[in-house]
Copies of this chain bind each other. A is one copy, B any other.
Amino acid sequence: MPVTLKELGARARVHPSTVSRVANNDPSLRIAPLTRQRIEALLRETEYRPNGVARGLKLRQTLVLAVVIPDITNPFFAALFRGVEDGASPHGYNVLLCNTDGSPQRQRSHLQSLHARRVDGVILASSFLKDPTVRWLRHQRIPYVLVNRFSDEDHDPFVGSDDLLGARLATAHLAELGHRRIGHLAGKPTVSTGVLRRRGYLAALTEHGLAPDPRLVVESGYTEEGGARAAARLMALDERPTAIFAVTDMTAVGAFGAARRMGLRVPEDMAIVGYNDIPLASRMMPALTTVHVPIHDFGSVAARLLLDQIETGEPSRRRVIFNPELIVRGSTVVGAGSPADPQAAPVFATE
C-alpha cells in the first residue's frame, strides 16, 4: 500500500493537512523552516504521490480524457489518437481509448461508462448526423470535441477538414485528366463525411459539365471490404466508369483489390482516388492519389479545444477546419509520385 498523508503526518509529527500543503507547495503556508525540511525529506524518501482517486473526488477533476473512435487498427485513428495524446499528455492528462466498431449502441454504452468515471472530457470521432449521443453529451455538460465527423453543423466544437472541397478537388482532378465517367464509392448518408464528400463529388461533376449518373454512385461504407464490393459493382456495369473517387483510403484499397481481380490495370483501365492520405497510401503499388489531411493535427488540435473548455469551464462552438490538399500519385497518373519514396514514407516507431 502506498503511503498516505495520514501516515506521513504521524511520522513528521504534524497534521496531515500540513503535509498536504507542503506537498502542493501552498504559497499561503507559513511554517518553520526546519519542519518544512523534515517534511520535504520525508516526501522525497517515500516518493509520495497523492492518491489520484481521492484527489479526483475532492477536486472534481480526474485528469483523464477519453477518445472514442470506430477502430484503432484503422491507421487513420491510430494517427489521430497519437495527436490527442501528444497534445494532452504534457498537461498531465492520461487518455482512455474506446473502440465502437461503428455501432451506436457501443458508442452509447462507452459514453455512459466514461461519464460514470467522471472523465474530464471526451473526443468523439465516431459521431453520426443528429447523433443522440452528442445531444446527451451537451445535456450532461460533459466537455467534448467532435473530430473528422460532425453531428450538427453549428452546435459542436469540431476539428476536421473541408470535406466538400476535398471531394471536389479529387473529382476535378479526375475530370481534368479527361475522365467522363467517374464513379463514387460513397460513405453513409448518416455520416457527415459521407454526405459532404458525395456532395463535393456531384458539384465537381457539374462544374466540369458532366451529368451525374446515379448508377455511378454506390454506397461502400468505410471498410476495405465494402469498398471492394461496391467497386466490383461499378466495374461490372455495361458502361463502366474509367475512374473512381473513394470516400476514404481504405475503401480505395478495396477498389484496388477489386480492379486486380477483374484484370483491370490501375491507373490505365481504372484511375482511383482516396481520401485522408493514411500511411499506407504512399506505399501501395501504384501509390494512391488521395486527399491529404493533417490527421495528427486533428488530434492535437482537438485536445487543445477540449483542454480550453475544461480550463474555462465554458462549452465552446469553435470549429477548426483544415484545408485538404490533393496529392497526385500513380493511381491516377502513370509514374506520378514515387511509391515508398523514403522522404514521403512515414516513419514507424519501435516495435
Contacts and interface: CB of A to CB of B under 8 A. Distances in A.
Contacts of A117: 52-53, 63-64, 94
A179 interface: no
Contacts of A78: 72-73, 75, 78
A111 to B, nearest CB: 11
Interface stretch (A6-14, A253-261, A302-310, A312-320): A253-261
Contacts of A54: 57
Contacts of A280: 280
Number of copies of this chain that the complex holds: 2
Interface stretch (A17-25, A150-158, A200-208, A217-225): A217-225
A261 B62 CA distance: 50
Given A75-B75, A260-B340, A350-B223, A81 B52 contact: no
Contact of A74 (B97, B101, B260, B351): B351
A350 B53 contact: no
A82 B70 CA distance: 11
Interface stretch (A37-45, A164-172, A341-349): A341-349
A224 B345 contact: yes
A116 interface: yes
B51 A348 contact: no
Contacts of A51: 57, 116, 118
Contacts of A116: 49-52
Interface in A314-335: none
B64 A72 contact: no
Contacts of A94: 66, 96, 98, 113-114, 117
Interface in A26-71: 49-54, 56-57, 62-64, 66, 70-71
B97 A85 contact: yes
A53 B57 contact: yes
Given A82-B99, A99-B85, A340 B257 contact: yes
A211 interface: no
Given A70-B349, A85-B99, 13 more contacts: A53-B53, A71-B350, A73-B75, A73-B348, A74-B349, A74-B351, A94-B113, A99-B349, A187-B351, A222-B349, A228-B342, A256-B340, A280-B280
28 contacts: A50-B116, A51-B57, A51-B116, A52-B116, A52-B118, A63-B117, A64-B117, A70-B351, A71-B349, A71-B350, A73-B75, A73-B78, A73-B279, A74-B351, A78-B78, A94-B98, A101-B349, A102-B350, A223-B347, A223-B349, A223-B350, A247-B351, A253-B283, A257-B342, A257-B345, A260-B340, A276-B351, A283-B284
